[in-house]
Chains A and B, each alone.
Chain A
Amino acid sequence: MLAHAIFFYIFSLIAIVSAIMVTVSKNTVHSVFFLILDFISISCLFIMIGAEFLGMIMLIIYVGAVAVLFLFVVMMLNVAQQKNQWFSARESSKHIPVGLIISTIIFFELIIVIGGWKYKPDLVSSMSLNIDSSISNTHAIGYVLYTDYIHIFQLSGMILLVAMIGAIVLTFRQRSGVKRQSYFSQISRERSDGVELIDVPSNKGVKSDD
């Protein structure tokens, strides 16, 4: 148990410190790297409470895919050179009150959620499902997702699909005059299409097509 506690504090300390570093680090690319560190330590925490499926999915989706695209965008936009001047510059500091209000709201929401969990445990346990503790949590999630919550699950899939199509539609541009290669015509070219043997009469030459 002691080792468990030590590892819990190590991972949560890394998670909190890197979450702070995401916001305060001067270089945007460093922020993304700290975000990745945050994701990794949170997935370690998930694994420590026995939710190994969630932890791994977190690694695969957030770290393996989402953060790579983040990094991709941040590097491509070359915003790394822009210094993060939230605390020093005069004109950008008017964002701070708005941020403070939002973070206070989130803070109180968290207090309500955690308080309800702590002081009214019957409120939470009445909604939770009866899950057989002998099966692995991958199976447990599967049983719940594909039976009781199938409609919500399908709905969230539809929302993601709509978001994806929307993003494609927004960025899709049909430009005229773009030369494209057709793979099939390239591959299916025969020798007879491209090479021709011509007897060249001397002092006259031949006229080529183009």
Chain B
Amino acid sequence: MEYLSIIFSETYKILFLLVPVLVSVAMIVWLDRRIWAFVQKRQGPNVVGPFGLLQSLADALKYMFKEVIIPSSSNKVIFILAPIVTMTLALISWAVIPFSATQVLADINVGILYLFAVSSLGVYGIIMGGWASNSKYPFLGAIRSAAQMVSYEVSIGVIIINVLLCVGSLNLNDIVMAQENLWFVIPLFPMFVIFFISALAETNRPPFDLPEAEAELVAGYQTEYSGMMYAMFWLGEYANILLMCAMGSVLFLGGWLSPIDLFPFNIIPGAIWLILKILFLFILFALVKAIVPRYRYDQLMRLGWKIFLPLSLTWVVLTASFLFYFNLLPTN
């Protein structure tokens, strides 16, 4: 009986978190296409519902009624597992994102490590899909994305170390509370820029969308997927993008804190501030997609290993020396 009540209350909490995430993923797809269109002086999806808001719903309905084709020479178990892995990994990481000091599903000690671990597992969905399709384009896309995501994870890890040096804790709520007086985006601005670019590469967004470069690889690792399985890849990808935006706002933009601690602002609940910050970062993501041409693969690798990694490592040394010299190292 006791276990049952725990299970019910936790399920209720999880649903209360995941349903809004899934709905906002659908909305964010629409927003992405809309922004992309406006930059290029087009209209974008504007027919279904007011301002085209229901476009993603219509798309989802279409995908649901399409046939799921499984290639006969594919590795069937892994082929079906790949979109499930992508989707699951994109959703489970939301468990540790704090929406206010108390509104967090799992307030664990190593929250940031958990986020980093789950985002580094995200590559498996792509590799599995690419390999199990047993076809050349998906395989090339998967190999590309494996190399790309592993490279950019390194610099994201080093950037996280920068933030952790200033916080002294791996708990996400502690990270947010440490930014009460000054958001980390100000002292660590270069790291914020590098984090943003690495997040683009980590989520395979343009200009780093080489795994699905349509001009050379058809659709990369998703070439053989159709119907709902394709839609799951797609949803997982956008949930990952939202997650990266949430991670950026928790690490650098003060999470659920209001920008100024004054009357009209500090009564607004923290969840709204976090959502606004996520939206701000996402709009930047969408603008980058619209205005930046795709990188060549060797340039991508060069950027990751020869520029971002040394730069962020140097910044770790700088931050540590600064904190040590001025005796600012966090103690707890």
Contacts and interface: CB of A to CB of B under 8 A. Distances in A.
B109 A3 contact: no
Interface stretch (B143-151, B253-261, B262-270, B285-293): B143-151
Contact of B117 (A60, A68, A137): A60
Interface stretch (A12-20, A51-59, A158-166): A51-59
A72 B146 contact: yes
B146 A138 contact: no
B78 A72 contact: no
A175 B56 CA distance: 51
Given A59-B121, A64-B121, A52 B110 contact: yes
A60 B120 contact: yes
B127 A64 contact: no
A64 B89 CA distance: 13
A68 to B, nearest CB: 6
Interface residues of A, number: 26
B170 A138 contact: yes
A68 B114 contact: no
Contact of B302 (A76, A139, A183): A183
SS of B interface (majority): helix
Interface in B98-134: 108-110, 113-114, 116-117, 120-121, 123-124, 127-128, 131
A56 B112 CA distance: 10
A71 B117 CA distance: 18
B110 A68 contact: no
Contacts of A3: 3
Q: What does DSSP make chain A's interface, helix, strand, loop or mixed?
A: helix
A136 interface: yes
Given A60-B113, A65-B120, A52 B108 contact: yes
B237 interface: no
A8 interface: no
Nearest to B134: A80
A29 interface: yes
Interface of A: 2-3, 29, 33, 36, 52-53, 56-57, 59-60, 63-65, 68-69, 71-72, 75-76, 136-139, 181, 183
Given A53-B170, A64-B150, 9 more contacts: A2-B3, A36-B124, A59-B121, A60-B116, A60-B120, A63-B121, A68-B146, A69-B150, A71-B127
9 contacts: A3-B3, A29-B131, A52-B109, A56-B116, A59-B121, A64-B117, A64-B153, A71-B146, A75-B142
Ranked nearest first, the 10 interchain pairs of A and B with the lowest CB-CB distance are: A64-B120, A56-B113, A59-B117, A60-B117, A136-B109, A52-B110, A56-B110, A56-B117, A72-B146, A68-B150
